[in-house]
Structures are given as C-alpha cells and as structure tokens.
Structure 1
Amino acid sequence: MAFIDGIKRQLRSVIEWENPDPDLLLAQWTENGDEIKNASKLIVGPGQGCIFVYQGQVKAIIEDQCMINLETDNVPFWTTIKKFMQFFESEHKVGIYFFRKTKILDQKWGTTSPIKYQDPKYHFPVALKAYGNYSYQIADPGDFFVSIVGSHNQMRIDDFRNILSARIINPISDYLAECQHSFADIDANRDEIARGIAIKLAIVFRKLGFSISDFRIEGTDFDEDTLRRINRIADLTAEAQAAQAVGLDYAKVQQLDALRDAARNEGGGAGLGMGMGAGIGLGQGMAQSLGAANPAVAADNNQTVAKLTELKQLFEAQLITEAEYAAKKQQILAKF
C-alpha cells in the first residue's frame, strides 16, 4: 500500500512556490517524496517567476502568472527535458528555481568606508560618508541567475544588500569627481547627486540582472580630518565677513591681533620690551593703513601708538616699575 501511495503522490505532484519566505529573492524548488520528472502541474503565482536549468544551463524562464499542465500542454522545454528522464531516478539533473518579481522597497544603503576626493574649490582632500535608501527588482532573470546565483540554491535580500554595498563606492566616487561639487554644496545638491549616482548604478546592476529605482541620499557626513578643515574655513570666513562689516581689510585685522598678542606677552621684562617693540612697529603700520582707509580714526590711532612708545621709553629708562608698566599698557590697549 505504501508503495502504491508513493506512486500516486508522484503522479499528482505539483511544482509551486508556496508561502515563500519574505526575505527570499530566489529559491530552488525541492520537495521530499516528489520527483520533478513525474510532476503533473507547474504553478507560478502572482509576483513570481520560474527558471528552468538543465545541466547547468538556463533552458527556459516563465515570468507570467500561470498554471501549466506538464503532461498535456505543449511546452517545448519540458518535452525536451522529459526525454532524458526515467521513472524513479533521473540521470540528468533538472533545477527549477522560483524568484520574486515584485519590487523590493525601502532598502537601506551606506558607504562602507569614506569616499575620498579633492575639493574643487578649496583644494584639500575630502572624505565623505553617505547613507540612504533605494528600491530594486529582478529585471533579467537569466542574467541574474548566471551572474549572481550560480551554484547557490537560494538568495536572500540581505545577500543583495551586501553586493550593492560592495559596488556602490566606485560610482559615487566617479560622480563626485565629475560633478565638481565642493563640500559646502553637497547637501544643497543632494537630489541631483542621487540622480547622477542612480544612473551609474543602473548601468552596473543592469548587467547583473537587476534594476535600481528610487535611489535617495538621506544624509552625509565627513571624517574628523575633513571636519577640522571645514571648521577652520568657517572660522576664517566669519572673521573676514566681520572685518568687512566694520570697513576693515581682513589682513589689517590679523595685524591688529598680532599687535595685541605681542603686547600681552607676559614672558618677563625683556619679553615685554620685545613684544612692545614688535607691537609698536605693527601699530605704526596699522595706524597708517587705518588712517588712509578711515581718516576719522587716524588721530586716535596715532595718539595710542605715541602713548605706547612713551610708556616703553619710561620703562627702559627705569623710571617706572615693571608692574606699573604692565598696568598702564593694559589701560592704553583697552582704550585702543
């Protein structure tokens, strides 16, 4: 009885992908107790496709929802395969693979390492990190099987994510080199950059049997070295704009900072004298430059420099103590 039941089970066997794991892209059909050679029907459900492989070669692909009676319907590929089959044991291996046709939505991506390029505006190395999401689906099952699946009996969505992550760096690097966006322009042009990268990715993944869609960049970041350079540029830019707002040349502001640093040198009497000497020299040049740019302040600047010069002479002649010299100097600078 068990023998007869086994034969009946084989004679009425059905090939179908029932309740597929939602994380599977492709799976080989296998059923304990059923022989492919004796299957009577093939069912391809909604959102599914089927690949027939014989002796390592793709012989047929079904991409439409259907039910085929393998015993009576005129299916050339199946007729050819059945010629090589025996009743209970097959000498030639036939593989039937079901794959998911539906689009896989909202998949996350991120650069596995920083993307390095030369900033076209500031000419320093930039290391950019980015992340976002995308959607994809199997567009050419034959290329997908040959290029990706190979000898594997299944492929999961996570497997494809690893493939994309490994191949995404070069297209992004190439596009950034071509579009010549400075670091400050990355976020403002995020949609444009995403479209450009998507075009490059489409070319790469079309060869693998996939189509990429809805590719988006959700965020970007830079490594520590790049951030340090960016912050330095931001500080200098802010200082230059502040100087311009009060009618000063940025170079003159730097001279003023040097004057104050030299005057505030607290390295002893000799250091005070040297710092004051340097400060006076810078101060005289500063007074002349500022006077030319703004005559209204020229008199005050000249008076300040004169007071500092006189104070230094008093100190060098030992007519005032070091403490008196330092205190008076700070009073003059505070007014300046």
Structure 2
Amino acid sequence: MGIFNFFKSQFIEVIEWTDQNSNTMVYRFPVQNNEIKMGASLIVRESQVAVFVNEGEIADVFTPGHHVLYTQNMPILTKLKSWKTGFNSPFKAEVYFVNTKQFINQKWGTSNPIMMRDADFGMIRLRGYGIYSYKVSDAAVFLRELFGTNSSYDTSSIENHLKKMILSGLTDLFAESQIPALDLAMYYDELSLQGREKMKERFAEFGFDITSLYIENLSLPKEVEEAMDKRTTMGVLGNMNTYTQYQAAEAIRDAARNEGGGMAATGAGIGAGAAIGNAMAGAFSANQQQTAPSAEPAKIVCPHCQAQIRATAKFCPECGNSVQKKKVPCVNCQAEINEGSKFCGECGAKQITEKKCTGCGAVNGPTAKFCGDCGEGLDG
C-alpha cells in the first residue's frame, strides 16, 4: 500500500496557482522530479496565463479556464515530444503561470535634473515625478526576453529598467515640445498621453503593454522658482511709486508708535523721521514727475510740405507757405467761406463746385456764365 501511494504521489493530477503576492509576475509550478499525468486538470484563473515549456523551449499557452490535459489540446508539446496518437502515459514538462493583470501605481521620477532650453529663463534644470501602469500582453515574449529560468519574478526585478526607459523617453519628449517652463502645468495631460504612446513600442519589446502614464509634477530649481515668485509679486504690486509711498507711510506710523524713552530714543526717532521724510518726499516728487502731463503745444500738418508745425502758425517755418485756408465767396450770398466747403455757413446754400455744359458736355468753373468750349450760356 505504501509503495502504491509513493507511485501515486509522483503523478501530478491538478495544476493551479493561487496568487498570494500582488506584485508577482511569474510563478513556476513546483513539478521538480514529478511527472504530469495525462488527463490532469489545469486550472487557469482570470488574469493568468499558463505556459508549458519543454526542455527550455516554449510550447503550449493556456488562457483562463479549466483544461483537461490531452494530446489534443497540447499540439506543440505533442509535436516536440513526438508523441504518437493516443499517448496516455505521464510526461515531464515545466509549467509557468504568468500574471496578466495590471501592475498599477508604479512610480517614476528624475534622479538627476533634465537640462532644457527655455525662452524665458535660458538653460534650466527640470525635475519631475509621476506614476505608470503596465501588464504582460505577450507571455511568450516576456518569458523569452526577461524571465529565464527563475522560480519566480516580481515587479521589483524590472522596476529600475522600466523607470530608466520612461525617463529617457520623457526627456526627449519635453525637449521636443518646446513648451515654456511657465506653461508646463497646462500640458500635463497632453504630455502624459504623448509619453504613453512613445513608450508603447519600447514596452512591447519585453511583452508588456503600458496601460497608463501620468505626470504628477514638474518643478524648476529653487532659484528659478524664487525669481518667478518675485516677478509675480512685482505684477501684484503694480505701480512701484504708489507702493513706496505706502511703505513710507507705514514706517512713519510704526515710528510714531515707538514708546521708547530717553534722549537716545528721541534722537533716533528724529533721525528716522528725517530719513523717512526724505524718502517720502522723493517718492512723492518722483510720482509727480512721472504722472505730471507734459504741456506741449498742439500741432498740425503743413498742407504743402507735411511738416509738423504749431496749430497757431500762419506760415510754415519749413516751406514758408501760408497754412491758413483760402477764402472764396459763397455762390449764393457772396459771404467768405473756406475753399472746399460744401455748404455756406451764412445762408446754408449748397456750393456748386463745377458747371457742366448741356450743349457740348464740357466742365466749367462754378462762377462761369458761358461755356469755355462752345460759348453756350450756362444756367445759374
């Protein structure tokens, strides 16, 4: 009976893996020197793939479900072992369970700053960090390229390499985008999507699919951030002269509240008051100089040489011509009006600029009584 139980224990009848560690990527089923019984049950749970390996060569891959092992559903292994039809004896093979779920919240970050050229600040050093997620999309490629013959494999085994891949791609992406440092926060989502697309091909080389990538923060060196804060403060303060006056007034108020006694305190107060008074005087005078409008005389354009001259001048100092408008008589009341006026300011009559001969069609002056070409009389 003991010998029977011994032989029975040599044959594996159920093959399955219950994942106890969420970061485990591959688990090798402990076959050791045992043999798998033909007709054994293979249980592959959701987010798992079972891979049979024969003498280091990947054979059949089983997706989630309950599988009964026969030669019919192991075509590659049957071919590799040259089994004949109806083979029913136990066999040896390595079984690997590959975890195909998403490995989320994987972190990336810059160990060294990224050198970039910026239009506002020149050369800057950029730091950043974020998270990404990935999963095994091709179990055969993953086992062939990374796993080897280990008994198990988890995310920490590949973490550093994937992080360096992401940083390399993002460094190139940031430099190509040419987005100003002040505007980077506006493009976190766009840069994250572009970074994921850029990483897909690199991850696929290891049988992975990068399912998400997020940029949580991009930061500049402390010196640059302080300069940005100062620039922001200047923009908030607005008019610096007004701010100086406010600061001087605050200083006078604080000095007036100083209750320290003694001649030394009095002298210090007088000295501080004089200094503050000078500062206020300078601030007020500077503000007045800045805000006082310049009283420049009005100017007009000379109609002859287009020079800028005073509006009260009667003759142009450049060309000497009169800049006063020529006076002509009104066609109706003979009052003097400016040449080119359309109506008379005295009688309101419309000013006729030309007379057209009804006989020959010639154009005559506004005061002509007879046509200069044919002599025909012109109507008023």
Match of 1:119 in 2: 118
Cα distance between partner residues in 2 of 1:166 and 1:3 = 56
TM-score (norm 1): 0.63
Q: How does 1:22-41 map to 2 (within 5 A)?
A: 22-31=22-31, 34-36=34-36, 40-41=40-41
Question: C-alpha separation between the residues in 2 aligned to 1:21 and 1:179?
Answer: 40
Are residues 1:21 and 2:21 paired?
A: yes
Once the two structures are superposed, residues 84-119 of structure 1 have per-residue CA deviations (whole angstroms, 9 ceiling, x without a partner) of 89x8996xxx43211112222333333333222222
Mapped to 1, the partners of 2:212 and 2:181 lie a distance apart of 24
Percentage identity across aligned positions?
Answer: 24
Residue equivalent to 2:79 = 80
Q: Which of 195, 198, 202 is matched with 1:197 structurally? A: 195
Gap runs ≥5 in structure 1: 248-252, 254-282, 299-336
Evaluate the alpha carbon distance shift between residue 6 and residue 28 of structure 1 in structure 2; reply closer, same or farther with a 3 A threshold: same
Q: 1:2 to 1:80 in 2, by over 3 A?
A: farther
Partner of 2:292: 295
Taking a change above 3 Å as real, the CA distance of residues 233 and 41 of structure 1, as seen in their structure-2 partners, is: closer
- Superposed CA RMSD in Å reads 3.6
**1:103-136: per-residue Cα shift (whole Å, max 9, x none)?**
22333333333222222432222232322x2222
Spell out, residue by residue over 1:206-231, the C-alpha distance to the aligned partner (whole angstroms, 9 max, x if none). Answer: 22111112321222333xxx220332
Letter in 2 for 1:75: M
One-letter identity of the residue aligned with 1:203: E
User: Residues 185, 73 of structure 1: CA spacing in aligned structure 2 closer, same or farther, 3 A cutoff?
Assistant: same
1:238-268: CA deviation from partner (whole Å, max 9, x where unpaired): 4477566769xxxxx9xxxxxxxxxxxxxxx
Matched residue of 2:121: which SS?
coil
Q: Is the 8 A contact 1:26 1:99 kept in 2?
A: yes
Q: SS in structure 1 opposite 2:122?
A: coil
**Structure 1 position 232 matched with structure 2 position 227:** yes
Give the structure 1 partner of residue 218 of structure 2: 220
User: 1:101 maps to which residue?
Assistant: 100
More helix by share: 1
Residue identity opposite 2:34 in structure 1 = D
Distance in 1 (alpha carbons) for counterparts of 2:236 and 2:22: 57
Aligned to 2:144: 146
Alignment correspondent of 1:169: 167
Would you say how many aligned residue pairs link Structure 1 and Structure 2? 253
- The Cα shift of 1:56 comes to 2.5
Shift of 1:177: 0.7
Paired AA for residue 99 in structure 2: R
How far is 1:179 from its partner?
Answer: 1.0
